[in-house]
Structures are given as structure tokens and as C-alpha cells.
């Protein structure tokens, strides 16, 4: 199954599981298809995903001093180089990423989220979650999945948080950074996102 088809299937399941009307699904599917057509760089093989993840992490560390400091202390890092989000009343987002330890890819994960409310448009973005200790890493590996914001403590680092972040104040289990946002949707949140292990 291709990355595009898998994404559409996940959004389809989320919408109908939550009782969405057929019209809402068709509108969202239309937005999603248009965005997928424009996103030809989506990784389709493990090697491409490895490459895209490495490039995304390097870009974040180069452009964000706070992320660079967190990276030095992290036990492992989840990297999602391209999340695709679309919505019209109901919304969905999907992407695939890697788990790195000591700079090497050890597992593959997908990122799935759904939302409800006033929203219209489509966007792509990247996010990285730095796992700071054995508790956070163990939770991810034991459960083969993680709902962000549930279980190990997670801080989503925005500009305000970043100003007060240093290697001496890293007390939480995990720190997440979103970046490379493109598209027409106004808000972006990864809390409630489900991260699950996949085969690649």
C-alpha cells in the first residue's frame, strides 16, 4: 500500500469512527488528494524515509539552538519529516517517521491524529520528539505506540518555552518541536496524536 493510499484509509477510518457525515468525508478527501498531489517528496521507501528524517533533524538543530541543546542530552529521538493535515469541520493528519538511537534508525512509526471544529484547508509540517530518559523510551517500546500527552511527561516547545530552556533545566521525559509548517490552516497541535510502530 502506498503512503498516499494508507493516509487516505486512516483518515477515512477516523472520520467514520467518529460518526462523520459523508459530505464531510468527501470534502476532506478532496482536500487531502489535492495536497498529496502537490507533495511528491513524500517518502515511499525506508531508505527515503531515513534520508528525509536525517535531513529534517539536521535542519531543526541548525535553525533552533534550543533543539540543539536538547538533542545533546536525548536518549533517542522520534523524527516525522512530513505530516500531512487536511480538514473541513473534521480533520485528520498522517505521516511516517523513524526512531533514532545514537544516530541510527532502529524502528519506524506512524503519526495519526484527528480533530473536530472550525477548520478548513490543508498543510504540511514536521515534528521531532526528543526522548530524554529510559522511562520515555521504554514506554514507547513496550506499548508499541504512544498518545502524545498521555504517559511520560511531554513539553511542546514553543518560542516562549525555548527562551527558558537550557541543558540544566531539562527535567521532563520528552520535548517536542514542530517546524517547517506550510499551508492554509491556522492552528497546529500534536497533543493527542497517536504514534505507533509500523513495519517498513
**pLDDT (tens digit, 9 = 90+) per residue, 118-162?**
555 678 899 999 999 999 999 998 887 789 988 899 998 876 666
Tell me: pLDDT of 21 over 50: no
Mean pLDDT in residue range 21-25: 42
Task: Please determine, for residue 20, whether its predicted confidence score (pLDDT) is greater than 80.
Answer: no
Residue 187 pLDDT class (50, 70, 90 cuts) = low
> Which grid cell sits at 184?
492554509
What mean pLDDT value characterizes the chain? Answer: 77
**At residue 6, does pLDDT exceed 70?**
no
Angstrom distance (rounded) from CA 107 to CA 62? 24
Higher pLDDT, 100 or 121: 100
- pLDDT at res. 188: 67
CA distance 4 to 36: 7
How far is the CA of 31 from the CAs of 86, 87, 93, in angstroms?
Answer: 6, 7, 12
Mean pLDDT of 84-88: 77
- Comparing 24-33, 66-75, 78-87, 169-178, the range with the smallest average pLDDT is 24-33
What confidence score (pLDDT) does residue 108 get? 95
Q: Which residue has the higher pLDDT, 81 or 162?
A: 81
Sign of CA dihedral 178, 181, 183, 187: positive
Residue 7 has a pLDDT of: 47
Q: What is the dihedral of CA 121, 87, 95, 68, to 10 degrees?
A: 60
3-class secondary-structure state, position 151: coil
Helix (H) or strand (E) holding 126: strand 104-131
**CA distances for 27 relative to 17, 19, 64, 97, angstroms:** 17, 15, 36, 27
Higher pLDDT, residue 41 or 77: 77
174 forms bridges with which residues in the sheet? 131, 154
If DSSP codes are grouped into helix, strand and coil, which group holds residue 193?
coil
Amino acid at each position: 500500500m502506498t503512503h498516499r493510499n494508507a493516509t487516505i484509509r486512516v483518515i477515512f477510518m477516523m472520520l467514520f469512527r467518529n460518526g462523520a457525515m459523508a459530505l464531510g468525508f468527501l470534502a476532506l478527501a478532496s482536500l487531502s488528494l489535492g495536497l498529496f498531489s502537490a507533495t511528491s517528496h513524500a517518502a515511499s521507501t525506508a531508505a527515503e524515509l531515513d534520508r528525509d528524517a536525517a535531513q529534517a533533524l539536521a535542519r531543526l538543530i541548525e535553525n533552533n539552538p534550543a533543539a540543539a541543546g536538547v538533542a545533546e542530552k536525548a536518549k533517542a529521538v522520534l523524527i516525522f519529516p512530513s505530516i500531512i493535515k487536511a480538514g473541513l469541520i473534521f480533520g485528520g493528519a498522517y505521516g511516517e517517521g523513524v526512531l533514532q538511537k545514537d544516530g541510527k534508525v532502529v524502528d519506524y512509526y506512524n503519526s495519526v491524529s484527528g480533530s473536530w471544529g472550525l477548520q478548513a484547508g490543508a498543510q504540511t509540517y514536521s515534528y521531532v520528539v526528543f526522548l530524554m530518559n529510559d522511562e520515555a523510551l521504554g514506554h514507547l517500546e513496550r506499548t508499541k505506540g504512544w498518545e502524545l500527552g498521555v504517559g511520560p511527561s511531554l513539553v511542546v516547545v514553543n518560542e516562549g518555552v525555548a527562551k527558558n530552556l537550557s541543558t540544566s533545566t531539562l527535567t521532563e521525559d520528552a520535548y517536542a518541536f514542530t517546524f517547517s509548517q506550510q499551508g492554509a490552516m491556522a492552528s497546529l497541535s500534536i497533543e493527542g496524536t497517536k504514534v505507533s510502530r509500523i513495519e517498513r
